[in-house]
């Protein structure tokens, strides 16, 4: 009995030590983010702001108020309503990838700054998980920044209505964690000098095929593509935010969205941690 109690105390002490080390890494990254808050906000805002300004403000004004977008006409909504969830999904994804993949490219470089992190009293996989969790915080902030832009910039405000807050919150959290896991997978799968190439050959294509600018249901006329894009995790981010924020638009069943986001999160985290261990230990 005494031996069992001693083992239990040791486990509790170790868990507390790990928790403090995890919190220390998290707070360190939070301090760096606060110091670089302005570049972070500019990075998050620039792309969606330009897209919104041209396609939902300039074009409607020069075309006499017509949306000039077939997906908007198909669903009976303004293009801004179609675009709002998609741009939030893109902000979540880009922030997650930028928060993990780009720093890893530097940390795995010549300086080997990653060695400083793995020396902390934490299992090596927990260091990778901390990166995913911190990137999720940045992704949530990015979504919160993009929402007012996507709502107020368009000439015609999007129609939003939240029927299920727990579902929306779950989608944002799962999408943010999945984006971080995707960033970890990319950052540990390619050489540091090739990280820029990945954005051109991987990130941009999966964005345009991620149901960002059109609902997934709109691909029914291209069944081969409608089935093919199901491998893309951004599809479920866009559709989840569409179901949560703009339920009047056609969208995937909520249960399917949550299930596939969980599957994508688990799979990408597993692949990312394996790659992280290989790069650190190897």
Helix (H, G, I), strand (E, B) or coil at 64: coil
Greater pLDDT, 127 or 195: 127
> Percent helix, strand and coil across the chain, each rounded to 5?
80, 0, 20
Residues 80-105: what's their mean pLDDT?
Answer: 85
Residue 2 within any structural domain of the chain: no
pLDDT of residue 71: 56
Residue 261 within any structural domain of the chain: yes
The C-alpha atoms of residue 202 and residue 206 are separated, in whole angstroms, by 6
Residues 181-201: what's their mean pLDDT?
Answer: 80
pLDDT of residue 77: 57
Token code pair at residue 104: 């890893």
Query: What phi-psi label fits residue 44: left (phi over 0), alpha (psi between -120 and 50 degrees) or beta?
Result: alpha
Query: What phi-psi label fits residue 222: left (phi over 0), alpha (psi between -120 and 50 degrees) or beta?
Result: beta
Residue 231's closest CA among 264, 204, 259, 207?
A: 264
Residue 100 within any structural domain of the chain: yes
Greater pLDDT, 248 or 115: 248
- Which range marks the domain in which residue 167 is found? 16-281
Residue 127's closest CA among 268, 21, 264, 20?
A: 21
Looking at the structure of the chain, the number of domains it has is 1
Residue 220 is given by DSSP the state G
User: Cα torsion for 32, 204, 214, 71, to the nearest 10°?
Assistant: 130
Residue 113 is given by DSSP the state T
Residue 112 within any structural domain of the chain: yes
pLDDT at 23 over 70: yes
Residue 211 within any structural domain of the chain: yes
Residue 10 within any structural domain of the chain: no
Is residue 241 within 8 Å of residue 220, measured between CB atoms? no
Residue 4 within any structural domain of the chain: no
Token code pair at residue 3: 């031996």
Residues 171-186: what's their mean pLDDT?
Answer: 93
How many other CB atoms are found less than 10 A from the CB of residue 159?
A: 16
Token code pair at residue 153: 């910039």
How many other CB atoms are found less than 10 A from the CB of residue 71?
A: 18
Is residue 149 within 8 Å of residue 49, measured between CB atoms? yes
Residue 124 within any structural domain of the chain: yes
Q: What is the CA radius of gyration of the chain?
A: 21
Is residue 185 within 8 Å of residue 43, measured between CB atoms? no
Sole residue written with tokens 């009976």: 76
The C-alpha atoms of residue 236 and residue 230 are separated, in whole angstroms, by 8
For 203-243, the pLDDT digits (tens) are 788 888 888 888 898 888 888 999 999 999 999 999 999 99
pLDDT at 6 over 70: no
């Amino acid at each position: 009995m005494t031996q069992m109690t001693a083992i239990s105390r040791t486990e509790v002490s170790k868990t507390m030590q790990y928790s403090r080390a995890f919190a220390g890494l998290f707070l360190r990254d939070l301090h760096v983010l606060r110091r670089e808050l302005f570049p972070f906000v500019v990075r998050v805002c620039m792309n969606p702001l330009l897209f919104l300004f041209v396609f939902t403000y300039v074009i409607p004004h020069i075309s006499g108020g017509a949306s000039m977008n077939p997906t908007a006409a198909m669903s009976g909504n303004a293009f801004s309503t179609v675009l709002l969830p998609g741009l939030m999904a893109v902000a979540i994804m880009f922030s997650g990838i930028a928060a993990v993949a780009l720093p890893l490219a530097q940390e795995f470089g010549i300086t080997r700054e990653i060695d400083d992190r793995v020396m902390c009293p934490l299992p090596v996989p927990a260091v990778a998980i901390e990166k995913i969790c911190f990137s999720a915080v940045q992704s949530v902030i990015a979504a919160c920044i993009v929402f007012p832009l996507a709502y107020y910039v368009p000439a015609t405000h999007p129609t939003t209505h939240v029927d299920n807050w727990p579902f929306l919150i779950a989608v944002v959290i799962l999408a943010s964690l999945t984006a971080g896991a995707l960033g970890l997978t990319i950052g540990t799968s390619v050489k540091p000098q090739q990280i820029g190439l990945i954005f051109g050959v991987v990130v941009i294509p999966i964005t345009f095929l991620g149901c960002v600018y059109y609902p997934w249901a709109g691909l029914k006329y291209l069944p081969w593509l409608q089935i093919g894009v199901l491998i893309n995790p951004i599809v479920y981010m866009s559709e989840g935010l569409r179901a949560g924020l703009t339920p009047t638009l056609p969208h995937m069943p909520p249960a399917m969205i949550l299930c596939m986001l969980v599957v994508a999160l688990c799979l990408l985290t597993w692949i990312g941690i394996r790659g992280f261990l290989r790069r650190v230990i190897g």
